[in-house]
Amino acid sequence: MTQQQPDDSLAAALADGSLREVEVAWSDPYGRVQGKRIPAARYPEAAAGRGVAFCDGSLAWNALGEVQTGAGLGAPERGYPDAYAVPDPATYRPLPWRPGAGQVLSDVYGHDGAPSPASPRAVLRRVLDHLAGLGHSVRAALELEFYLLRPDGGPLPQGLHAYSLELANELDPLLGRFTDELTAFVPVESVLTEYGPGQVELNLAHQDALTAADDAFRLRYAVRELARREGLLATFMAKPLNGQSGSSAHIHLSLWQNGEPAFAPEAGAASKTARAAVAGLVRHLPGLTLFGAPTVNSYKRFEPGGFAPHRADWGGDDRTVAVRSLVDTPRSSRIELRTPGADANPYLALAAALAAVAAGLEDGLDLPPADRDPAPLPATLAEAAAEARADRRLAALLGEDVVSDYAVLADSEWHDSTTRVTTWETDRYLRNL
């Protein structure tokens, strides 16, 4: 299905009366879609001026929606003032599941008219602007995995077979909706079954980096809603089932200069720019892990011997490493970062990766030997928060407040997990000790 120019289609839908409601949306820290539904007749007024007001404390809440007072925007003495969601008309898309309704993504601003430092989309914009100052634009695509479960959270009765078209047929009509109506909302390139029962992967088309993050952000929203309408639960939890594979969000990225690929091979090998980019990622992987693995559960996905990396290593076309340097045709040569999980905020995961790339370029890094003994990745959320705080180079590129506040959210999750008595503990110890 060919998409119209999004900004033209929004104006046309408002003018001809076919649009009755607009979702004005933005991202919370965990990549969940927040927003307000605006009647179409009221949208032009709502979008004008400062934009759509909302409580800025929502940019500092944890996975349960509890505002964290240790985060910059969470301090109660600030009074939780308004932030303003300013719609980006170029992001308009009709909602496939609600005729007459559409969605537009927003940039978030504070009272002073400056971009909110806590807005995940603003964080990515800042890093992209920094790379632009170095002469580079970025193209990216994400591959997102997720599980389709019964409404009670139980696994679907399905065999384990990645790439199986027979299993894909068993998941119809939902999978058919992903390759049909969903493609008008996000650019789905392919749908495949994965290793776990009911596990699916959706691959998105390469776009400019901001659009790629927008696509991934919207994809999670759309998948969950389409699954709900089919009586299923879709989860992007990194490791929802014991003994089954985790769900990833692999990031493919490439740098461009003046419209030409900066990763174009040199003498059949990775270019100097690509080597510096990979080296930056490898050096800063411990510090950026938090942004691709933001929950306690995220770290149960990292397992030795599996497809989820657990060390800061790199290689060529090798799915056991954290960073793949894929040397192909000039326009398709790229880097794949395999550490982020499906539970990552797409904006923040991509921003952190690109900050590491920028550091590699600016610091003139070159590839470490692929056979060296690589550093381990953080094994817990607490370790990841500590590594993020310690990486001052990344903090300078992402924003000191961004790293500090995200680490505060991680502290909250870790504290709650380590102070709560679990069913595993009672099952194991209650009657045995």
In the chain (433 residues long), the average pLDDT of successive 10-residue segments reads 52 88 96 96 89 89 86 78 92 94 95 90 97 98 96 83 87 91 91 92 96 97 96 96 93 96 92 96 97 97 79 89 92 95 98 98 89 86 97 96 95 94 93 94
Cα–Cα distance for residue pair 226/233, rounded to 1 Å:
9
pLDDT at position 372: 74
Alpha helices per DSSP H over 136-238: 165-170, 174-179, 209-229
Q: Is 142 exposed, middle or buried (0-12, 13-18, 19+ CB in 10 A)?
A: buried
**Could you give the CA distance from residue 245 to residue 290 in angstroms, rounded to a whole number?**
20
> What burial class does residue 14 get, using C-beta atoms within 10 Å of its C-beta: 0-12 exposed, 13-18 middle, 19+ buried?
middle
Biggest CA pair distance of the chain: 71
pLDDT of residue 4: 34
**What does the pLDDT read at residue 306?**
65
Which of 83, 89, 70, 82 is CA-nearest to residue 13? 89
At 300, list the tokens. Answer: 């149960």
pTM for the full predicted model: 0.94
Q: 């929004």: which residue's tokens?
A: 10
End-to-end CA distance of the chain: 62
148 CB-near residues (< 8 Å, 6+ apart): 156, 171, 174, 198, 199, 200, 227, 232, 233, 234
How confident is the model at residue 73, as a pLDDT? 76
State the pLDDT at residue 414. 96
Q: What is the CA radius of gyration of the chain?
A: 21
